[in-house]
């Protein structure tokens, strides 16, 4: 990781991946921009980040959001991401 100097290096790594699972951070935002490169993504969000209903992003319609159902509880989020990851693996 010593070769990563700035955000463009991080973006280049993201573009080389098939799948990104990230918290709602700049990595997730970069992935939203990388959609045309075929990179799928799951973004984990706290309950308070609810800007849209369901699993869709207001900015990146191809990014799947996994939101908390209870503040500060991540167990159900991780279970849903695990199921989605298994489904993704089976399709690819």
Q: Which residue is associated with the tokens 């070769």?
A: 3
Q: What is the pLDDT along the chain (92 residues), one digit of tens a residue?
A: 678 888 778 778 877 888 888 877 666 666 555 554 555 777 777 776 555 556 666 666 667 888 888 888 999 999 999 998 999 889 88
Q: What is the model's pTM?
A: 0.69
Alpha-carbon span 45 to 50, nearest angstrom: 8
Cβ atoms of residues 67 and 46 within 8 Å: yes
Domain ranges of the chain: 7-91
Q: How many CA atoms does the CB half-sphere of 23 hold within 13 Å?
A: 4
**Residue 50: half-sphere exposure toward Cβ, Cα within 13 Å:** 9
User: What's the CATH code, domain 7-91?
Assistant: 3.40.50
Q: Is 42 helix (H, G, I), strand (E, B) or coil?
A: strand
> How much is the pLDDT for 82?
93
| pLDDT score of 76 | 92
């Amino acid at each position: 990781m010593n070769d990563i100097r700035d955000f463009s290096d991080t973006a280049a790594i993201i573009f080389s991946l098939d799948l990104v699972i990230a918290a709602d951070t700049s990595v997730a935002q970069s992935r939203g921009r990388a959609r045309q490169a075929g990179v799928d993504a799951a973004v984990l969000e706290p309950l308070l980040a609810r800007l849209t209903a369901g699993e869709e992003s207001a900015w990146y319609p191809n990014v799947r959001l996994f939101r908390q159902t209870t503040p500060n509880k991540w167990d159900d989020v991780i279970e849903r991401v695990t199921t989605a990851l298994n489904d993704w693996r089976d399709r690819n």
